[in-house]
Amino acid sequence: MIVPANRLALLENGTQYFPALLAAIDSAEAEVRLESYLYEADGIGLAVAEALMRAAARGVRVYLLLDGFGANGFSRELAERLSAAGVAWCHYRPEHGLLRLRRHRLRRLHRKLVAVDGRVAFVGGINIIADDNAPGHPSHRYDYAVRVEGPLVHEIHAAMRRLWWLVEWSRSGRRVSMGSAFPVPAAAGTQAAELLLRDNWRHRRRIEEAYFKAIRDAKHEIVIANAYFLPGWRFRHALAEAAQRGVRVVLLLQGRIEYRIQHYATLALYRFFLERGVEIYEYRSSFLHAKVAVVDRSWATVGSSNIDPFSLVLAREANIAVHDRAFASDLHARIFAALRAGANQVHRLPWRLLPWHRRALAWLGYGVVRALAGLVGYAREFGGVDGDVPGGMKNR
C-alpha cells in the first residue's frame, strides 16, 4: 500500500548511514529495534553496540535480531555485554549443523531494518559492518539506505514487532508479548512510499511483482544497480521486452569477484541481455552491495533484496518503493555518478574468442546456481538462457 506524507532521506554508504543511525539510537526514549543479516564486532559494530547499551541504560527497550547464518560468528564477548546491559537479542534460525544441506536452511533473515520510538526508521541494504571491512579491498562498499519519518514508519515497526514475536514464540514454544505498539506518526513530509516485504507466507512475491509492474509501466528508462543479479526467466524477459519497445535499460553489476559462483553465473546471462539492447556496466571501484533501481526518474526502490533466486524466493527481505520524482532523480544521479567514476561498460565479442576457462567457469557457475534453484523449487522459473551460450564480453 502506498503511504503518503513521509519525509525520506537517501543515505549513501556507511559514511552517511552510520552517523544517522547512531544519532537516532542516542535520541531514543522508549524503544529501539534493529535487524541485520551481518553484524561484525569491528569499529562500527562496537559503536552501534555501545549506542544500544547506552539506550538500554536509559530505560529504553532494545531488541536486536540477527540472522543465524550471516551473523553465526557474532562475538560471544559482545553478546554477553549486550545481554548484561539489558539488550534483548537473538538469532533468526540459528545454525547448528553446517554440513547439512536442507531447503529451510536457505530461508535467511536478509533484511536490514531499524525502528526507533515508532517515529523514525531505516530501510536499506547496509549491514552492521564497517565500509572498509571487505576482503582484500579497503575502500567503501557501494550501498544505500533510506531514513524514514512519517506514517510509513508504523508499517516498518509493525513488521519488526511481528517477526520478533514469531522468533520468540518458536524459541520458547509459549505465548510471548509482541512488545509495545506506537500510534501512527503524523505527516512529516510530502513523499509517498510503500514497504515491500518478502517472506514465505503472505508476501512471497511482493518485491518481484513490484519490479514487474515498474518495468511494464516504464516509458523511457530502467536503471538497476544490483550486487547479485541472477533473474529468473520472467524477469529477464520483462527487461528484454522493455528494451525492445525502446526503453533504455541499464544494469550496473558487480565487477569485482566476491563470490565466485554468483559472479560467473551472472556472466552466463550477459549475451542474452546484450543481444537485446540492454546496457551492462561492471562496477570495479569497490565492492558493489547496492540493491536499488530507478524507473523513469519517478519510481525508485532501495532495500535488501538482490535479484536472484535466494532473495526473491527464500529470504526475508525488505525494500522501500518510493513514488517521488525528487527522490528518484537523486538516486538516479548518484547511480550514474558511481557508474561514470568506477564502472566499465561491457561489450559483446564472439563467444569463441573468449578464453576457454572463462566459458567453462560461466557455464559451471550457472549450472551450480540452477541446480540450487532446483533444490528450492525455483528451477522452472529460473530456466535456461533460451538456448544461448553465455555471451562474450570485453571491458572498455
In this structure, what CATH number is given to the domain that contains residue 15?
A: 3.30.870.10
Same domain, 146 and 281: no
Give pLDDT, residue 380. Answer: 57
Same domain, 202 and 184: no
In the residue annotation, 291 being an active-site residue is answered as: yes
Q: What is the pLDDT of residues 224-283, one digit of tens each?
A: 999 999 898 899 999 999 999 999 999 999 988 666 667 677 777 888 899 999 999 999
In the residue annotation, 263 being an active-site residue is answered as: no
The number of folded domains in the chain is 2
Q: What is the pLDDT of residues 37-77, one digit of tens each?
A: 999 999 999 999 999 999 999 999 999 999 999 999 999 99
Compute CA distances 357 → 266, 351, 363, 365, whole Å: 15, 12, 10, 12
In the residue annotation, 117 being an active-site residue is answered as: yes
Same domain, 314 and 374: yes
In the residue annotation, 394 being an active-site residue is answered as: no
Same domain, 76 and 100: yes
With contact defined as beta carbons under 8 Å apart, do 243 and 218 qualify? no
- In angstroms, rounded to a whole number, what is the distance separating the alpha carbons of residues 103 and 167? 19
Q: What is the mean pLDDT of residues 132-150?
A: 81
Catalytic residue among 91, 140, 154, 291: 291
With contact defined as beta carbons under 8 Å apart, do 11 and 146 qualify? yes
Same domain, 202 and 173: no
171, 189, 207 - which closes a domain: 189
Give the E-state strand segments of 53-168 in sequence order: 61-67, 88-92, 112-116, 120-124, 144-149
Q: Is the pTM of this model over 0.95?
A: no
Helices (H), the chain: 13-26, 43-57, 76-85, 152-172, 206-217, 233-244, 260-267, 270-274, 309-313, 325-342, 356-375, 379-382
| High-pLDDT (> 70) share of the chain, % | 81
140, 168, 189 - which closes a domain: 189
- In angstroms, rounded to a whole number, what is the distance separating the alpha carbons of residues 243 and 179? 48
Same domain, 296 and 213: yes
Give pLDDT, residue 266. Answer: 78
Give pLDDT, residue 310. Answer: 78
- In angstroms, rounded to a whole number, what is the distance separating the alpha carbons of residues 166 and 92? 10
Kindly state the cell numbers that stand for 366.
Answer: 550457472
- In angstroms, rounded to a whole number, what is the distance separating the alpha carbons of residues 114 and 124? 9
> Around Cβ 87, how many Cβ atoms within 10 Å?
22
Same domain, 173 and 201: no
Pairing of strands 291-295, 88-92: unpaired
165, 189, 213 - which closes a domain: 189
Position with higher pLDDT, 175 vs 272: 272
Domain that holds residue 117: 3-189
Same domain, 279 and 378: yes
Compute CA distances 382 → 47, 290, 372, 374, 378, whole Å: 41, 22, 10, 9, 6
In the residue annotation, 219 being an active-site residue is answered as: no
Q: What is the mean pLDDT of residues 377-396?
A: 49
Catalytic residue among 67, 143, 296, 308: 296
Catalytic residue among 67, 117, 199, 308: 117
Same domain, 302 and 391: yes
With a cut of 70, say whether residue 388 has pLDDT above it: no
In the residue annotation, 104 being an active-site residue is answered as: no
Same domain, 29 and 159: yes
Catalytic residue among 289, 308, 324, 330: 289
- With cut-offs at 50, 70 and 90, classify the pLDDT of residue 395: very low
Same domain, 92 and 169: yes
Same domain, 98 and 16: yes
